[in-house]
Each structure stands twice: as C-alpha cells, then as structure tokens.
C-alpha cells in the first residue's frame, strides 16, 4: 500500500449559512492524480482553500481534519502553515492573467516566490524549460500583460512548482483556455507527474479533462462525495445517477488529444523529507 499523502474529512461553510461541504472525505496517495469534479458552487474551491489554510480569509469556517503526512492542517499555527504553503503544497489558480501581479516583471515575481522559502536567486532556466517557457533573460523582464493566456498559465505552474512541492492543487486551471491550449496544459501536468512524481488534486467541472489526466476521480454533488473510484471504473460502470448524467453530457465531437490519453500507472513517489 502506498502511504497516503493527504487524508481529508471536512465540513465547511460561510457565515450563518448551511454548510457547503458535509463530511467530504477522500485520500490522495503520493504521486497520485485525483480529479475532483462538480458543478460551480459545489464547494470544490472551498476544499482547496481549506487545505491551504486560507478559508478564514474568505469568511469561511471548517470542521474535521485535513492530514498532510500526519499533520492536521486545520490545527496548525500560521507559522507552520506558511512553511508548508507554497513549498510542500503548491497552488495553480484559475484565471491566470488576473492571478499575476500586473505591476511586477515576471522575474521579480519568481524572485519573491523563491525568497518566501529560500535565500539567493537560482538559475531559472531549468524551471522555465520544464514548463516550456522561454529561458532567456528578456522573457523575465516582461510584464504579465505581455503574455498570452496560455503562457501566463504556464508561468503560474512554474511559480507553483518552484520549490518542488509534493502536492499540487490545480483549481480549474484550464477554464480560461481554448481547447488546444487546454490540451497542452493537461499534457504538461501529466509530464510533471510522470517525471517529478508530483501528486495533484485536479479540481474541475470538466469530467472529460479529468478522464484524460487523472488516476482516480471523486464526484462532488450537493456538498458530498457521491462517488470515488478509478477513472476507468467510473466511466465504465458509474454508480451514482449524478455521475451518469455528467458522463452523458460529455461532448462526443473529436478534439485535441493528450500525448497520453490516460495516466496508466502511478509514478515512483519521491522520498519523504
């Protein structure tokens, strides 16, 4: 059995309203890619915020436990969370152009992210090449407004993997992309998982992209996980009615395909630090 990297049992809500999440429970193994699928407003991003210890900034509340290598993230002090956030656990947000600081050059944003956990300034070339971005100094002198949406998303991924995290949270990372660029980004995620062993919680409303990328899929409906199994099992024999509706709604027209249509096996996990 592979060691669980993340174990979650979570209820969460906002203000005096009913809980958005009700005893949501799942595990994520080292080097595994788990897709979390649900409609808008189901609480997918709430899960990501809770894992990062940022739910309170949005006026949210949480109950339960989120174990990362045995540490309950919901009980950690902010100093310890800052040590984990960005270094052990990375985030790729949606809306890439709005997620970057428009007033800072790309090199300055890389430098700030690096100095949050390390000293000095490394050679950025290997990092930029790993996400298929130009490795020239001229590229880092640009501002986010000079980038295409696809390049901005690749730069966000570079920021997220800067410290070689074990876990990557990807929150609707392809929702603002055209179909071809979306396929390129999904292929990039698959390669990072295959070559670097990065585990990923891939949050999306798009079951087709999850099927292309992930080992397992968890279906979130009305604040609960109604189904969680391998991608093959969910697509071949969906159990819940909501899952069957999602599968039936997938467009059948041909489109760009990933280099590898499905991740067939978990990569070798990185050694625990």
Q: Tell me: the pLDDT tens digits for 140-198? A: 999 999 999 999 999 999 999 999 999 999 999 988 788 889 999 999 999 999 999 99
**Cα distance between residue 119 and residue 117, in whole Å:** 7
Closest CA to 74 of 86, 62, 92: 62
**For the chain, percent of residues with pLDDT exceeding 90:** 75
- Which domains, ranges and CATH numbers included, belong to the chain? 4-96+164-248 (3.40.50.300)
Question: What pLDDT shows up at residue 206?
Answer: 86
Q: For 183-187, 195-199, 224-228, 259-263, which range has the lowest pLDDT when averaged over its residues?
A: 259-263
Of 262 and 42, the structure prediction assigns the larger pLDDT to: 42
Residue 269: pLDDT over 70: no
Residue 257, pLDDT > 60, answer no
Computed on alpha carbons and rounded to an integer, the radius of gyration of the chain in Å comes to: 18
Q: Name the pTM for this structure.
A: 0.89
Does residue 21 carry a pLDDT above 90?
yes
């Amino acid at each position: 059995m592979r060691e669980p990297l993340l174990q979650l049992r979570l209820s969460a809500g906002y203000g005096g309203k009913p809980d958005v999440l009700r005893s949501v429970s799942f595990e994520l193994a080292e080097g595994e890619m788990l897709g979390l699928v649900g409609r808008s407003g189901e609480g997918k991003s709430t899960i990501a915020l809770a894992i990062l210890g940022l739910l309170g900034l949005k006026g949210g509340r949480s109950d339960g436990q989120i174990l990362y290598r045995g540490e309950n993230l919901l009980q950690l002090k902010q100093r310890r969370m800052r040590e984990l956030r960005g270094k052990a656990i990375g985030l790729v947000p949606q809306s890439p152009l709005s997620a970057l600081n428009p007033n800072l050059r790309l090199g300055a944003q890389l430098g700030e992210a690096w100095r949050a956990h390390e000293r000095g300034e490394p050679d950025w070339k290997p990092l930029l090449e790993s996400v298929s971005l130009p490795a020239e100094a001229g590229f880092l002198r640009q501002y986010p407004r000079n980038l295409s949406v696809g390049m901005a998303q690749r730069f966000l991924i570079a920021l997220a993997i800067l410290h070689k995290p074990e876990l990557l949270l990807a929150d609707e990372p392809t929702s603002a992309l055209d179909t071809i660029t979306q396929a390129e980004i999904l292929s990039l995620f698959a390669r990072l998982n295959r070559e670097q062993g990065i585990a990923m919680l891939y949050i999306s409303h798009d079951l087709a992209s999850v099927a292309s990328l992930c080992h397992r899929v968890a279906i979130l409906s009305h604040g609960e996980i109604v189904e969680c199994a391998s991608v093959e099992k969910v697509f071949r024999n969906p159990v819940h009615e909501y899952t069957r509706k999602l599968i039936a709604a997938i467009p059948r027209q041909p489109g760009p395909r990933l280099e590898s249509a499905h991740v067939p096996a978990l990569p070798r996990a990185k050694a625990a630090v």
